[in-house]
Amino acid sequence: MVERSPERLDAVFQALSDRTRRAMLQRLAEGEASVGELALPFDMSLAAASKHIQVLERAGLVRRTVEGRTHRVRIDAHPLHAGAEWLRHYERFWNQRLDALAALLAAEAPPASAGRPGRKRR
């Protein structure tokens, strides 16, 4: 079932608005990772990485488990479906508009042989 609440959709798009969080999600698509492993490519502190992960958690995009002192994070891509569904609405909108424009231009275009000046042979 797709979560349709505006607040959840806002949280998903807010989480995706940051390139670091998008990169973290991309990394997590390969498998779970520790907070340290997620922080490593960005040369950031564990606290900074944890703040990014909290935003992803609030959006429901990741789940965190604690194993001793290690925090493990895994992706939960289900909330992305609501964002994709929202975007598909506008994809259909623009496809319909572009199809209508193409039909209008095709109807107004002169036939291939009409309107071209003939070449004079020498």
Domains and CATH numbers, the chain: 1-107 (1.10.10.10)
Q: Where are the alpha helices (DSSP H) in the chain?
A: 6-16, 19-28, 35-39, 46-58, 80-108
pLDDT of residue 1: 43
pTM of the predicted model as reported, rounded to 2 decimal places? 0.73
> Please, are residues 2 and 83 in contact by the beta-carbon 8 Å criterion?
no
- Only one residue has tokens 């492993």, namely 37
What pLDDT was estimated at residue 110?
Answer: 80
Q: Name residues of the chain where pLDDT drops below 70.
A: 1-4, 112-122
The token duo for 25 is 């999600």
> What is the reported pLDDT for 82?
87
